[in-house]
Structure 1
Amino acid sequence: MPDTQPATITIRDATEADLADIMEIYNDAVLNTTAIWNDNVVDLANRQDWFAARMARGFPILVAEVDGRLSGYASYGDWRAFEGFRHTVEHSVYVHRHARGHGLGRLLMHSLIERAEKGRVHVMVACIEAKNEASIRLHEKLGFRTTGTFLEVGTKFGRWLDLTCMELRVGEGG
């Protein structure tokens, strides 16, 4: 019988050296899922600009490593670009296709919520394709509540998509 050891999982801040792996995970989601409603993959320059913009605003980008291999990432950014919304963020969490279903999304989200609690965030918003039941269940387990569903507000793979919005109050903000 083979000796199996538990995986070593590390959640840490992303660095520029992680951007090629982040790009791979992002592009896989673009090409194969309805988690991202873009039709076009991005290049490394795009991820470098994204990284720089998040860093300039003081927003975290976290990565999950499994046995030293980058297997997921999470971040948040402005929900809406108006001053009155400055204490509300929208987050994203993506896990490599080979690492899904093993709790990495939950671990990344716990760490991201901790960062939001320590920061000046009052509410985290999740906007999830309405048929992505696994993501909706994960968010519910983390305390997010559904605030509504927009019907047929986007398209991908030749079909209309509905968007479920969820929120979590994480801190006092301001």
Structure 2
Amino acid sequence: MTTIRAAHPADAAAIAGIYNHYVTHSTITFEEIEVTSAEIARRIDHVITAGLPWLVLEDRDEILGYAYATKWKERSAYRRSVESSIYLKPCAIGNGHARRLYARLLELLTQCGIHLVIGGVAQPNEASMALHQKMGFEPVGSFREVGFKFGSWLDVSYWQLRLGV
């Protein structure tokens, strides 16, 4: 049975393992060098210290995925807008886990007083666009050729969801 819980810095190695798969094998993240467990632990602490959620999806003590939100920008007027991120182990894709994890993240963001959630989707990524659409996000624009990875220029589309707070 899968459960969703708050992440802890002790989860960093498992999270790094999930994330680094995408760093080295895909263009859905624009990082190009694998991230250490220590860096992931620092990022978890940074998100939690900012009063935002970082969640993990577990099945029998194995972390299958994670989702979190970060400040959209540092200026004070942006304080109620965040950018969301979600990653699953490849073996966990297609089982509804992403929807459950994202739904819980959105619920907690609402409780935190967040008004707007922004999702950036590196293109092409039909699965992520479909997930954002299912979660109620609407497309609001894109940046063309904003990233360069694996010898190709990459676009990023942006989606937003108003939480009504």
TM-score class normalised by the smaller sequence: over 0.9
Cα separation, 2, equivalents of 1:12 and 1:43: 22
Question: Deviations 1:100-130 (Å, cap 9, x if unpaired)?
Answer: 1211111110000000111110000000012
1:79 aligns with 2:72: yes
1:37 is displaced (CA, Å) by 0.4
Instruction: Read off the aligned partner of 2:82 and give its amino acid letter.
Output: V
1:94 is displaced (CA, Å) by 0.2
Regions of 4+ moved over 6 Å: none
Q: 1:11 maps to which residue? A: 4
Q: 1:144 maps to which residue? A: 137
Alignment of 1:43-122 (within 5 A): 43-122=36-115
1:26 is displaced (CA, Å) by 1.0
TM norm structure 2: 0.96
TM norm structure 1: 0.92
Instruction: Read off the aligned partner of 2:60 and give its amino acid letter.
Output: D
Cα separation, 2, equivalents of 1:127 and 1:61: 17
Runs (5+) with no aligned partner, structure 2: none
Q: Contact (CA 8 Å) 1:39, 1:156: kept in 2 or not?
A: yes
Q: Contact (CA 8 Å) 1:79, 1:88: kept in 2 or not?
A: yes
1:32 aligns with 2:25: yes
Q: Contact (CA 8 Å) 2:116, 2:161: kept in 1 or not?
A: yes
1:137 is displaced (CA, Å) by 0.6
Worse overlay, 86-95 or 63-72: 63-72
1:161 aligns with 2:148: no
- The alignment of Structure 1 onto Structure 2 pairs a total of residues equal to 165
Cα separation, 1, equivalents of 2:141 and 2:9: 36
Q: 1:41 maps to which residue? A: 34
Cα separation, 1, equivalents of 2:164 and 2:23: 32
Cα separation, 2, equivalents of 1:151 and 1:16: 35
1:17 is displaced (CA, Å) by 2.0
Q: Cα RMSD between the aligned structures?
A: 1.0
Cα separation, 2, equivalents of 1:125 and 1:61: 16
Instruction: Read off the aligned partner of 1:9 and give its amino acid letter.
Output: T
